[in-house]
Structure 1
């Protein structure tokens, strides 16, 4: 009889022990923690970021994108090359100087070559006509940020001006009447003289 009671108590103890050990793990809060741990572990294995980390970085980037976009008069977008925007902003206001390519003065092709060297590490030809001969030509409707835009003063006339397309119809260039600035392709002068767009490959 004593042995039977002891066996029953032992069995009951095991059941209770199992129940109390398992209960916390099935609690919603504990489950959430477990899932979070597993997600963190998996993200580490897969090389992905946890959502909250990405959110914090995105918030920081958002401020920078907005700052540059506001200076350039374009809508902020995370798919736009931030280094390009920052570099163009740093050149804004540089006076026009024919044959030069420094921040004390630059012409249109000098500005383009310097920006491409700084942002992409690419060395372009020095003249707008040479650049045009060495780019992949793209349709105006297919232009992307970083493409080059070329201008000429009518059919049969040589290319005389080049700029860097940003987005929203805006491009950065060094103009004879104002130095480095951002203009719109929709402005009458540039709309009338726009000739073609070109993409520098491997940038």
Structure 2
């Protein structure tokens, strides 16, 4: 739907041309009636916390890529091999749930019950 939209840190979720990771998730879930806070650090306080082994399509997964114990990225879990998110390098795109992302994985929440 928004695949290919460019990355812009601080982008507003009302935009469909530019997203950052959390404005993208805020926009996508807002379209199905789920209100999320603006930032990834706030979004991880929503929904129900789940274990990595319990991940299902549509769950939000959070990362600490700076390894400073602060959430700084959120993605939508598609399956054990795929994430949907807005990244600096590709904008909105499907990417592999690679060893890179697994290394920085912090926690997940389910917002769709």
Identify whether the pair has TM-score above 0.5, normalized to the shorter chain.
yes
Normalising by the residue count of structure 1, what TM-score does the alignment of the two structures yield?
A: 0.51
Number of the residue aligned with 2:19? 106
Give ranges in structure 1 of 5+ residues lacking alignment.
Answer: 1-89
- Mapped to 2, the partners of 1:123 and 1:177 lie a distance apart of 27
Q: Deviations over 1:101-154 (max 9, x none)?
A: 322101000000100011x21110111011111221111111111100000036
- Mapped to 1, the partners of 2:91 and 2:20 lie a distance apart of 8
Q: Larger Rg: 1 or 2?
A: 1
Q: Deviations over 1:171-203 (max 9, x none)?
A: 100001110011122x2321211111111154x
Q: How does 1:21-170 map to 2 (within 5 A)?
A: 90-100=1-11, 101=13, 102-118=15-31, 120-153=32-65, 156-170=68-82
- Mapped to 2, the partners of 1:180 and 1:123 lie a distance apart of 20
Normalising by the residue count of structure 2, what TM-score does the alignment of the two structures yield?
A: 0.89
Give ranges in structure 2 of 5+ residues lacking alignment.
Answer: none
Larger RCO (CA under 8 A, 6+ residues apart)? 2
Distance 1:174 1:155, change over 3 A: closer
* Count of paired positions: 111
